[in-house]
């Protein structure tokens, strides 16, 4: 019995397609109720349930379908797939129609891909590796600074030399600050030692 339940569960999940299970399902009312419940549980868990009350109208639909005139001759294999509610040989299973849907879907997919490729925005910005300027909270402007004084016209070599010198000074400052705590301690030691 438990094996049957497991099989049923797997069937609901679309994991197995065994005729044996389908057979058992179509002949066992209890199992069929379970099948219905499993679907109900799954829908609930996936939040696919309608907001209002749950109504089981599958039986009525099955009745109505039974009274409908047959349009298509059912394939024997598909006919054994149980329909929710009463079993009927005259219902065309969804799987059979899937071929038609597939064609329609592929056309839709082609349209979507085409739309995407034709609507790519053109690359307007130049490629920059530097991160965008973003402060901690929006709307922060740098204090001032950039070059505030106009420099006299210089040769390129002079500009580079200036930049190199500025970098040397800034790097040195940063190193001094980094080593400051160390030198503080050293100074203290020097003051304490009688040699100094």
Question: Which two tokens mark 13?
Answer: 């999940």
Choose, by CB under 8 A, the member of 129, 149, 155, 195 that binds other proteins.
149
Q: What angle do CA 71, 77, 82 make, to 5 degrees?
A: 80
Q: Does 73 bind other proteins (CB under 8 A)?
A: no
- Residue numbers 162-181 binding other proteins by CB under 8 A: 162, 164-173, 175-181
Cα-Cα end-to-end distance for the chain: 95
Which ranges of the chain would DSSP assign to H, the alpha helix? 2-12, 19-27, 29-45, 58-67, 76-79, 94-118, 156-178, 180-192
Q: Which of 1, 73, 134, 157 binds other proteins (CB under 8 A)?
A: 134
Find the shortest distance in angstroms from Cβ 166 to other proteins.
7
Minimum CB separation from other proteins for residue 163, in Å? Answer: 10
Which 113-132 positions form the footprint of other proteins (CB under 8 A)?
131
Joined together, the tokens standing for residue 144 give 């001032």
Q: Give the Cα separation of 178 and 171 in Å (integer).
A: 11
Which CB atom, from 45 or from 150, has the smaller least distance to other proteins?
A: 150
> Which is closer to other proteins, CB of 75 or CB of 175?
175
Helix (H, G, I), strand (E, B) or coil at 1: coil
Shortest Å distance, C-beta 121 to other proteins:
25
**Where does this chain touch other proteins (CB under 8 A) — which range of 23-31, 50-58, 68-76, 143-151?**
143-151
Q: Is-contact 86 62, C-beta < 8 A? A: yes
Cβ-based nearer residue to other proteins, 110 or 169: 169
């Amino acid at each position: 019995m438990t094996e049957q339940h497991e099989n049923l569960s797997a069937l609901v999940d679309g994991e197995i397609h065994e005729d044996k299970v389908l057979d058992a399902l179509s002949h066992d009312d209890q199992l069929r109720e379970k099948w219905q419940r499993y679907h109900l549980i799954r829908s609930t868990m996936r939040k696919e349930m309608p907001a209002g009350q749950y109504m089981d109208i599958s039986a009525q639909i099955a009745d109505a379908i039974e009274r409908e005139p047959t349009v298509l001759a059912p394939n024997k294999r598909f006919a054994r797939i149980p329909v929710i509610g009463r079993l009927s040989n005259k219902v065309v299973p969804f799987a059979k129609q899937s071929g038609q849907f597939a064609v329609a879907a592929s056309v839709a997919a082609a349209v979507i891909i085409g739309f995407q490729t034709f609507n790519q925005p053109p690359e307007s910005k130049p490629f920059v590796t530097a991160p965008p300027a973003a402060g901690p909270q929006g709307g922060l402007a740098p204090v001032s600074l950039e070059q505030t004084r106009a420099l006299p016209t210089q040769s390129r070599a002079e500009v580079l030399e200036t930049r190199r010198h500025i970098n040397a000074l800034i790097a040195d400052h940063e190193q001094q600050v980094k080593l400051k705590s160390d030198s503080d301690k050293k100074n203290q030691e020097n003051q304490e030692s009688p040699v100094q």
